[in-house]
Amino acid sequence: MPWWLFLVLHTGVWFLAAVAGVVAHAVSRKRLGIPDGSGRGVSVAQFLLCPPLCFGIALAIDYVANPWGIRIVGLFHTVLGVVFVTYH
């Protein structure tokens, strides 16, 4: 997998994590009968820190055992993306 495709994949997964968290919170408030008023935000840090951090971890693993870093971290993010889409 090319590095740019890997970067797009796990940035998209972190975006799905944000959307899944906001939707889960809205659904739980609706089930509990809490009126709409105060929203819940998502931290910008997960978009600024997590994708480069995971990319760095994948590159570090690739340095030791090429190409397993991108494969392992990419597979983890693929599974995480599927969980966010299907579970939440």
Q: How many structural domains compose the chain?
A: 1
**From CA 1, how far away is CA 20, in angstroms rounded?**
26
Instruction: Tell me, yes or no, whether 17 lies in a domain.
Output: no
Instruction: Tell me, yes or no, whether 30 lies in a domain.
Output: no
Instruction: Tell me, yes or no, whether 19 lies in a domain.
Output: no
Instruction: Tell me, yes or no, whether 12 lies in a domain.
Output: no
Instruction: Tell me, yes or no, whether 66 lies in a domain.
Output: yes
Instruction: Tell me, yes or no, whether 85 lies in a domain.
Output: yes
Question: Which tokens go with 61?
Answer: 């693993």
Domain that holds residue 73: 44-88
Q: What is the pLDDT of residues 24-75, one digit of tens each?
A: 878 888 888 877 766 666 677 777 888 888 889 999 999 999 889 989 998 9
pLDDT at 38: 63
Instruction: Tell me, yes or no, whether 38 lies in a domain.
Output: no
Other Cβ atoms closer than 10 A to 22: 15
